[in-house]
Amino acid sequence: MSYSVTATTYWPEVGQTDDAPMETADGSIIPARHSSKTRWLAVSRDLLKNWGGPFNYGDKVRVSGISSALDGVYIIHDTMNRRHRHCVDVLVNERECKTGLEGRWPNIKLSKFVFEPSWQAS
Please give the full DSSP string across the chain, using - where no structure is assigned. Answer: -EEEEEEEEE-S-TTTS-S-TTB-TTS-B--TT--GGG-EEEE-GGGBGGGT-SB-TT-EEEEESS-TTT-EEEEEEEE--TT--SEEEEE--HHHIIIII--EEEEEEEEE-----S----
Per-residue pLDDT at 120: 67
* Residue 64's pLDDT band (cuts 50, 70, 90): very high
Predicted TM-score (pTM) above 0.75: yes
Residue 53 to residue 35: CA distance in whole angstroms: 27
Q: Which of 5-9, 57-61, 81-85, 112-116 has the lowest mean pLDDT?
A: 112-116
Amino acid at 24: T
Mean residue pLDDT across the chain: 89
- Four-way CATH pick for 2-112: 2.40.340.10, 3.90.245.10, 3.40.50.300, 2.40.40.10: 2.40.40.10
pLDDT tens digits along 66-122: 988 899 999 999 999 999 999 999 998 877 766 767 789 999 999 999 877 777 666
